[in-house]
Amino acid sequence: MKSDIVTNRITDILETKYPFVQAPMNWLTDANLVAAVANAGGLGIFGPNPGLTNMIHGIENHIEQMRQQIRQARKLTNKEFGINILVEDEPAIHMNGMLKVAFEEDIHYFAVVGEPNQNVYHKIKEHGGIIIARPLTPTVQNAQLAEKFGADIFVATGYDEGGILPQNGQGTFTVVPMIVDAVNIPVLAAGGINDRRAVKAAMNLGAAGVYVGSRLLVANEAPTASSTKEKIINGHFSDMGLVSHDQRSLLNKPMQTLATNYQLYNDGIKNDEIISKAGGLLPGMRLGKIDTGIISTNTGIDLIKEQTSVQQIIKELMED
């Protein structure tokens, strides 16, 4: 069937077939996934720790790992793709290292996560980069500031998302029109985008495209552990709970304990520290330790029903 999404501001900026951006999920991207998204007509983006199954230390090691992944992706696609940049305060060793390798490898698309930072945006613009701005908690104020500083696209993320949750509690279909009305740059909707209906709804609310993570976790090309893919496909929203102030998970025994403690004591910071020390998303989602690790998806998990190719997922989302 032909797509009913015609060329728009997002596809013009990204030079993609569809206004579709793959979320740069920590531990859960690699060259295969990023290239597959690019080949299917979207923008693939490398997240932190791409292609890794264990912790590595030292900025030079991280730089070389990212360089290898970028070069591997270029063997798999002739399309453009991007890299995640996490805004850090000075000395910003990791951030500057990622910018360095991106500039050296001629990357043009940057998903910049964090509050708008004029110096960071300026560095990217100096190198001809396109900025996809994504504060963790989108507001009218940071959206307008991002536009003022030179962002090309803004991501309006709702509480429906997987990963690190916004702190204003607004759902995707509340935050999207709020941001659309506040800025002149195009807006991507993020959070709970798992099927064609959600894409259409987001576009009807003024979004020019979508920013998708959870739905791609179960793609054939995703580096998510096979046992975790199966757990997600068979999972339900009723199986999930908040395990801290900004993370939710499918509830195995350790996550149930964290969820109960959070409900009783509202001590999300302590729980965050416990999850971080255990390796964050690495054990449960990359290594398949589904009985102990955090497994994070958006709230629409009931709509994630099968494992298939990236191409098929994007086609189902973007075409009738």
| Average pLDDT estimate for 67-92 | 97
Mean pLDDT of 209-224: 98
| 188 strand-pairing partners | 155, 209
Could you tell me if residue 3 is inside a domain? no
pLDDT tops 70 at residue 208: yes
Q: What is the pLDDT of residues 88-121, one digit of tens each?
A: 999 999 999 999 999 999 999 999 999 999 999 9
Residue 242 included in any domain: yes
Sign of CA dihedral 293, 294, 296, 301: positive
Cβ partners under 8 Å of residue 279, min gap 6: 55, 293
Overall domain count for the chain: 2
- pLDDT level of residue 7 (50, 70, 90 thresholds): low
Q: How confident is the model at residue 266 (pLDDT cuts 50, 70, 90)?
A: confident
pLDDT at 4: 47
**CA neighbor of 171 nearest in space, from 299, 20, 272:** 299
| Domain match, 139 and 270 both | no
Domain with 65 in it: what CATH number?
3.20.20.70
Asked whether residue 2 is domain-assigned, the answer is: no
Paired tokens of 193: 């985008």
Greater model confidence, 33 or 266: 33
Q: Let me know whether 149 and 200 are in one domain.
A: yes
| Pairing outcome for strands 45-46 and 130-134 | unpaired
Residue 2 pLDDT: 41
pLDDT value at 6 more than 90: no
In a domain, 4, yes or no: no
- Which range marks the domain in which residue 165 is found? 9-221+306-318
Whether residue 268 is predicted with pLDDT greater than 80 in this model: the reply is no
- Whether residue 1 lies inside any domain: the answer is no
Q: How far from 284 is each of 110, 132, 229, 290, CA to CA, in Å?
A: 27, 28, 11, 5
Query: Could you tell me if 168 and 42 lie in one domain?
Result: yes
CA atoms of 84 and 251, how far apart (whole Å) = 28
Q: Is the pLDDT of residue 3 over 50?
A: no
The confidence band for 1, taking pLDDT boundaries of 50, 70 and 90, is very low
Residues 259 and 312 in one domain: no
Indicate whether 41 pLDDT > 90. Answer: yes
Residues in contact with 166: Cβ distance below 8 Å, sequence separation at least 6, in sequence order: 136, 137, 138, 157, 158, 159, 175
Instruction: Report, as an integer, the average pLDDT of 254-281.
Output: 89
Mean pLDDT, rounded, of the chain: 95
Are both 298 and 314 inside the same structural domain? no
Q: Which two tokens stand for residue 49?
A: 């720790």
- pLDDT for residue 263: 87
CA distances from 121 to 23, 49, 219, 240, 275 (A): 19, 22, 32, 37, 31
- pLDDT tens for 120-165 read 999 999 999 999 999 999 999 999 999 999 999 999 999 999 999 9
pLDDT recorded at residue 228: 98
Other Cβ atoms closer than 10 A to 308: 13
Residue 265: the pLDDT is 82
Q: Residue 31's pLDDT is what?
A: 98
Could you read off the pLDDT of 51-65 as tens digits, one per residue? Answer: 999 999 999 999 999
292 and 204 assigned to the same domain: no
Mean pLDDT of 250-265: 93
Could you count the other beta carbons within 10 Å of the beta carbon of residue 302? 12
Same domain, residue pair 314 and 298 = no
Answer yes or no: do 293 and 164 share one domain.
Answer: no
Give me the sign of the Cα torsion angle 91, 94, 96, 100: positive
